[in-house]
Amino acid sequence: MTRSAASVDISRWYSLAASVSTALLLFFAMPGYFGWWPLLFIALVPLLSAALYLPPRRSGCMGFMTGFLYHILTLHWIVVVLGRYGGLPPWLSVSAMVLLAAYMGVYCALFCFLFSLLAGRSWHRERSVAVLVWTAPILWVGLDYLRGFLFTGFPWLDLGYGLYSQPVLIQAADLGGHHLLSFTLVLANGFIVAVFDRQRPQVRWNIRREKRALLLACCFLIFVFGYSMVRFRVMPSLFRHSLQAEISVVQGNIAQNLKWSPQQKEQTIETYERLSRQAVTDHTTELLVWPETALPFYPQQDPLAARVVGLAEKENLYLLTGAPTFAIKGEGRQRQVSYFNSALLIDPNGRIVGIHAKQHLVPFGEYVPLRKLLPFLSPLVENIGDFTAGISSSPLVVGKQLRLGILICFESIFPKVARDEVAAGANLLVNLTNDAWYGRTSAPYQSMAMAVLRAVENKRSLVRAANTGISGFVDPVGEVVQQTKIFTPAAITAKVPAFEKQTVFVRGGYAFGGLCLAGIPMLLIWRKRQL
């Protein structure tokens, strides 16, 4: 073997080791099975170190391998969703998971390719490492933002969510959203790589511009985490002066394979009635919350709806529940029926005073894109109908002061949906979901982690009602006040503050991810001018 061939072989093993190391470190760090969040500050170090010296194409291949492996480990619950509950055969469920992991891996591949192109040393061995420190977070967050809306978007478990369990570190999300947290984590990893790189004997420390860039990175890290610590201490005193609402949440734990059975409808309502009475025994609850599609029927035409209305009247409270609804337009041949995944608000007089239709539907779960071209995927929606997306972000009003921003199911992973609700006047966020689809996998914990950041970004309490869990209450600084175990019937009650002031994130900070995406072509133009 020639010397050049040997070096190529060594670099291949090095890039493979870097890929596997970063994928595993991220998997252990992120919410789900382990959640060892301190690993987030070093998880990208192997990947960045290897990409620093690999040519762009090989760096891209390494990035794809990293992203593919990480998402195979993280998104394995897709097989449960599509196979056990979606009706697809095992070979098709596994294939769908592999394809989704490959799609997610493409973004990591693009990151490594662009990073090597813009900041790598494959064409300049003594290039300033300061370029790496600032280029990496811009690329990472810009691509995360792109993934959040391209092809309807799938921003599942972005890097910043890994800190959800540490409210003292995440308050800066009310400035630039969870994307700012991701930016900070990537910056911290790049800073570590830079510090170690500068220990090489051939490096000269008298490069003034590089010193300034690294010092600026250090100051940025201090600002973000310093701001978070101060904000975490200051905000609770403000919440105590806000309206306090007593809310009860019911977790029915209705098995997914029985949920839509006509024979089980009455038993389902009996379960929710029984748990609701347990929750409101003190008769101080203002709002009772049931999960997504807690009513497994269309309340407009089913006599069981009268029992639900009767519960709200008897207990003298507002009841918010998930239910499918429909709307009919036209007559005769022009007649069109649209179905919605909705949240209904029933007042103490038994009137439906508000209906909110889910705005961001699950592709291949609540509707099938290009259905005529993909007929074999129809079983995914034939049990619950092919839904139409809602268009309103207006909050549902409880009494005179409580305004509910509704997030149905996986809408909680989209910052824009929650932000639009708060901008429209919501002073409380409510997430209705049915996580039974995920089974006993890591997905319910990951979903809960992402919901926590919606509370922090908007500085709003978040009430979460999930059919099989996790249900609970999150305060405006992201502390989980109370939560249930999964696959356990439960009824819990808590007082939560309804904060009114808008955060920087709501007023404009939500654009941070978009600015990073816009920065990518600017970096490419800058690189072209450097050649």
Q: Are 422 and 405 in contact (CB under 8 A)?
A: yes
Question: What does the alpha-carbon distance between residue 84 and residue 156 come to, in Å, rounded to a whole number?
Answer: 21
52 and 154 in a single domain? The answer is: yes
According to the model, what pLDDT value does residue 204 have? 59
230 and 272 in a single domain? The answer is: no
Question: What does the alpha-carbon distance between residue 454 and residue 150 come to, in Å, rounded to a whole number?
Answer: 21
- Give one word for 503, left, alpha or beta, with left for phi > 0 and alpha for psi -120 to 50: beta
Q: Any residues with CB less than 8 A from the CB of 351 and at least 6 apart, and which?
A: none
* H helices, E strands: number in the chain: 15, 12
Q: Is 302 helix (H, G, I), strand (E, B) or coil?
A: coil
Active-site residues, by number, are 292, 358, 409
Number of domains the chain contains: 2
Q: Is 293 helix (H, G, I), strand (E, B) or coil?
A: coil
Question: What does the alpha-carbon distance between residue 58 and residue 12 come to, in Å, rounded to a whole number?
Answer: 9
Residue of 157, 155, 61 whose CA lies nearest to 112: 61
232 and 288 in a single domain? The answer is: no
Boundaries of domain holding 51 = 3-237+511-530
Q: What is the mean pLDDT of each run of 10 residues along the chain (531 residues)?
A: 48 87 98 95 96 92 97 94 82 93 97 93 69 93 96 94 97 98 97 83 63 90 97 92 93 86 89 94 90 93 92 95 90 82 95 94 71 55 67 92 94 96 97 92 96 98 96 97 95 95 96 97 83 60
According to the model, what pLDDT value does residue 383 have? 46
Q: Are 115 and 51 in contact (CB under 8 A)?
A: yes
Q: How does DSSP classify residue 324?
A: E
* Number of CB atoms found within 10 A of residue 192's CB: 17
According to the model, what pLDDT value does residue 123 have? 64
According to the model, what pLDDT value does residue 195 have? 85
131 and 269 in a single domain? The answer is: no
According to the model, what pLDDT value does residue 505 have? 98
Is 506 inside a domain boundary?
no
Q: Any residues with CB less than 8 A from the CB of 64 and at least 6 apart, and which?
A: 102, 105, 106, 108, 109, 112
- Determine phi and psi for 462, rounding to 5 degrees: -125, 125
Q: Any residues with CB less than 8 A from the CB of 313 and at least 6 apart, and which?
A: 348, 349, 350
279 and 153 in a single domain? The answer is: no
Is 457 inside a domain boundary?
yes
- Provide the whole-model pTM: 0.93
81 and 160 in a single domain? The answer is: yes
Measured between its terminal Cα atoms, the distance across the chain in Å is 35
CATH of the domain at 364: 3.60.110.10
